[in-house]
Amino acid sequence: MPDEASADLSHIAIIMDGNGRWAKQRGLPRQIGHERGVEALRRVVEACRDIGLQYLTVFSFSSENWKRPASEVSALFGLLRLYVKQDLARLKADGVRVQILGKRKGLPDDILKLLDLAVSETSGNSRFTLNIAFNYGAREEIVSACKGLARQVEAGEITSDDITEDLFAGSLWGQGIPDPELLIRTSGEYRISNFLLWQIAYTELVFMDVLWPDFSEGHLESAIQSYRDRDRRYGGLSVDETSS
């Protein structure tokens, strides 16, 4: 891995996809695929921290995942319990701050307590921030922000003319978190899947044909190199175009 992240790369987002297919290819229960996916997450968190990245946001449990069989949803919750219990002390000691993006409604009480524990125990850390999108859906996040601003207008706290991009962004669940410069999706799928729809307006997208449990530091390095090789113009001209 590179010794440090480039100056303009502070936030990576990842759609961790392919646990089930990884298990199916090996004739294993899907639960095993999810367990291997947690191991991949550990590797990536450590790698991102070590290269000096400031933020990593991972799509852990989508609001659409409730459509899966109850047994698999229960297994995913069990993995979260295991991850927090096994890794929280290490994350805290390593200076990792944990934040949760998503809605609380519908989650079991013990899961809510674990999420709150992870946030509170690491709230004083500042070396690296791990954002876990759990029970998260971007459209719902946007609707929630709209409703919050509408209530402020109705209460006379602001007017519709006061609503700017910055004010709207500050009303999202991940308020205060900068937009990711790079988004990685594994498993060979080419979809965003309702993830960070507002925040990735100018994010570079990298789709990788590797199942998440097999995702390594080398894959992360390859994605970062792809990002560095691109010309980020934000609607403007490239260096070559401005000099011609």
Question: Which sequence positions are flagged as catalytic?
Answer: 17, 65
Give the CA radius of gyration of the chain.
19
Residue of 140, 134, 130 whose CA lies nearest to 108: 134
Cα separation, 165 vs 8, in Å, equals 21
Cα separation, 16 vs 23, in Å, equals 14
The residue count for the chain: 244
